[in-house]
Amino acid sequence: MPPEPTPVVLTTGCSSGIGRATARRFLAAGWRVWATSRNPADVAELARESCRTAALDVTDAEQVDRVVDAVVERDDRIDCLVNNAGFGQAGAVEEVPVDRLRAQFEVNVFGPVRLVQAVLPHMRAAESGAIVNVSSLLGRVVYPTSGAYAGSKHALEALSDALRMEVAGFGVDVVLVEPGAVRTGFDDRLRETQGSVHERPVYERLRRVVDVAQRLSERTAVSPDRVADVVYEAAVSTDPEARYVVGWDARVAVLADRLLPARATEWLYERLV
């Protein structure tokens, strides 16, 4: 009996953090890993660890097609797609320039859709596959000054839910992974984006309150390896959940969102503005 073929995973945003940890998690499990990043130098270390690597900007449709074609041509299969590439930005809705909001959706929403549309025909032909979309706690809940990022993740979750039903009969699973705070420096980079918005003094008090809450959340942040473990578990499960919440803060926030009336949180934020 011939040996089972090595399963193949294509993952985006592998320059650091969750993406890099995910590539290593699949590699440790014996998968053929394609680790991608906008800058090939950022995944050079993964290449030395036996990952196949490629430059991939998820906003470039032609590059998406080239990378997917290269994976199929070389390895003849794609068993799992991990859509991890993304970025965040902070700012009240009034403060975020429309071109910055457009860029947010281009990477966090349209990028994953491009990958899904390129990969899905191969999975459908094989009658198997897993698509794991890395979302966020903010794909379920939202707080002030997070509208642009949370909006993109809410959109990704809606698309994932529709896709899950659409491909259920083709042997393809669609899963969302929703981390809370992760020790990747993401929140620090989020704060840095405030310089790219038109900050208005009327939101300054609210900004300070949100920043304090974020710093408290960071104390319970999980490691990128923990998120990578969940991504891998979701990918290999024969009956995966639709959503995997990762982190204590994320679980509490999701529970509070279920139990607390929307008016209660709105009342609180109104008192802070």
Residues marked active site are found at 149
Nearest to 190 by CA among 243, 115, 252, 138: 138
**What are the backbone angles phi and psi of residue 264, rounded to the nearest 5°?**
-65, -45
Alpha carbons 134 and 250: distance in angstroms, whole number: 14
DSSP3 helix / strand / coil % (the chain, rounded to 5)? 60, 15, 30
3-state secondary structure (DSSP) of residue 228:
helix
Inter-helix orientation angle 111-126/61-75, to 10°? 30
- Nearest alpha carbon to residue 249 among 223, 216, 217: 217
In angstroms, rounded to a whole number, what is the distance separating the alpha carbons of residues 103 and 119?
A: 23
